[in-house]
Amino acid sequence: MGRYFVTTAIPYVNGKPHVGHALELVETDAFARHLRARGDEVRCQTGTDDNALKNVQGAEAEGITPAEYVERVAARFISLREPLSLSFDDFIKTSTDPRHRPGVEKLWAACAERGDFYRKSYAGLYCVGCELFYSPDELVDGRCPEHGTVPDLVEESNWFFRLSRYQDQLHELISTDRLRIEPATRKREVLSFIEAGLEDFSASRSMSRARGWGIPVPGDPDQVIYVWFDALGNYITAPGYGTDDATFQHWWNDSDARVHVIGKGIIRFHAVYWPAMLLSAGVRLPDTIFVHEYLTADGQKISKSAGNAEDPADIVAASNTDALRWWMLRDVARSGDTDYTTERLLARANEDLANNIGNLVNRTVSMVKRYRDGVIPPVAADNPGAAALRAVREQAPATIDAAFTAFDFRRAAEAVTAIGNEGNRYVEAARPWDLAKAERKEDAGPAALDAVLAELVATCRELAAHLTPFLPDAAPRIAAQCGDGGPRVADPAPVFPRLEAPA
């Protein structure tokens, strides 16, 4: 049994969560559930990034305090637990969690002791949406490549972090996969960024520009710690860095793997800035950074400003949790953005869940109820007609585990649907209804039908187990239909309703 510490990124809370946020939460949750299902000890963590300038601006626009603003919006992210069936063990709000500020102050002090901060006056092009300075050649037609907005020209005297000091060390760690970045295209992107030369970055901002919101720089109360330096610290402050040495030792230092799941827009911070900060502070690095792509709507990035940001709770209310989770894990590409539409979600749910897996479970339970009064026959040791079905089932655990290890959720889901496909083919080939007729006419004994029914129940029970990381609500429904490991099936009832497009 291993020990894993798995985190999502923590989003800014300057608006309602949208379906793009849900993707990262669902992927991370499925990964954590898979690890737990195979017997590993897992801590899954998420949260919100509260100390951002755009949160201050959002509060000012509404005429309330930043504290009131972020508390209200963070609650919307926490509330996604139920509609998305999330199983996170920890949720950190960086503005109010008592673990956070002491840990960030300790991280700053450790980097300062290493001599990695210096004061510098500078001017640069700053995107509030990214909380990032861009060089002119990084802009697209003079606009932020992420948000499409024109950056502000900012002139300040701030504390800078000596990122350039760690260029060679970072290149070595990433190129040798000691710091593993998945997929490989993102690894190459980070290496190219490092090879172009790393420049030191601003690690603080003036207290006046921050409107007094954020963690003051230790020893310099006129400055606050830059939002990204502050926010990245959540990965170690939540498990106890600076407040709980024993818990931090258990979950960070002694874990077999520390895994970050992030979106491609923040790769520079997580794959370059963050490991450099940890190297400076003498703290162990994460092991793996999985970078997911974006969901799009009509080819455009989903965002509040674009007006195409559907609320995941509304999507679940219109369809159901199983449908949304399944689409995200079954259809979203590992490389390249994926367009979200209601039609695609419904089509995938109906094809895979209602018509394939749900149909197999319903026919299996109904036939055991009809032909054997609900009593499940014992599995036959030898069943030549089920050879293809058994082969697919035997291959599935290794395929699913390898796919999750590679963060290839689509391939893992395909291995599950393959079992359903083969199970339905087995029903059509074995024709248990004909075996039941032959049995009633005394043209055959019960052994042939018993073997088929037992094989189907075993298949559906394995489907329930494999579906647990993907569909934690549906998996126990399937197990219950199949008797929860007992000798009898339950009364048949549809596990997955067929979904219709809204009128």
**Identified catalytic residue from 16, 147, 171, 369:** 147
369 catalytic? Reply is no
**Identified catalytic residue from 34, 100, 120, 127:** 127
16 catalytic? Reply is no
21 catalytic? Reply is yes
- What residues are paired with 206 via a beta bridge? 223
> What is the b/e burial string over 100-121, where b = at least 16 CB atoms within 10 angstroms of the residue's CB?
bbbbbbbbbebbbeeebbeeee
> What is the b/e burial string over 432-449, where b = at least 16 CB atoms within 10 angstroms of the residue's CB?
beebbeebeeeeeeeebb
Q: Using alpha carbons, list the distances in angstroms from residue 279 to 120, 173, 273.
A: 22, 11, 10
**Identified catalytic residue from 34, 44, 100, 130:** 130
In this structure, are residues 14 and 305 in contact, taking their beta carbons and an 8 Å threshold?
no
466 catalytic? Reply is no
Q: Measure CA 402 to chain center.
A: 17
147 catalytic? Reply is yes
Handedness of CA 338, 339, 340, 343 (dihedral sign): negative
**Identified catalytic residue from 44, 144, 460, 482:** 144
DSSP state of 339: E
88 burial via Cβ count (<10 Å: 0-12, 13-18, 19+): buried
In this structure, are residues 30 and 298 in contact, taking their beta carbons and an 8 Å threshold?
no
Q: Closest by alpha carbon to 33, among 254, 25, 406, 358?
A: 25
- What residues are paired with 220 via a beta bridge? 217
Stated length of the chain: 503
Handedness of CA 75, 80, 83, 87 (dihedral sign): negative
130 catalytic? Reply is yes
> What is the b/e burial string over 402-431, where b = at least 16 CB atoms within 10 angstroms of the residue's CB?
ebbeebbbeebbbbbbbbbbbbbebbeebe
Pairing of strands 117-127, 90-93: unpaired
> Which residue numbers are catalytic?
18, 21, 127, 130, 144, 147, 301, 304
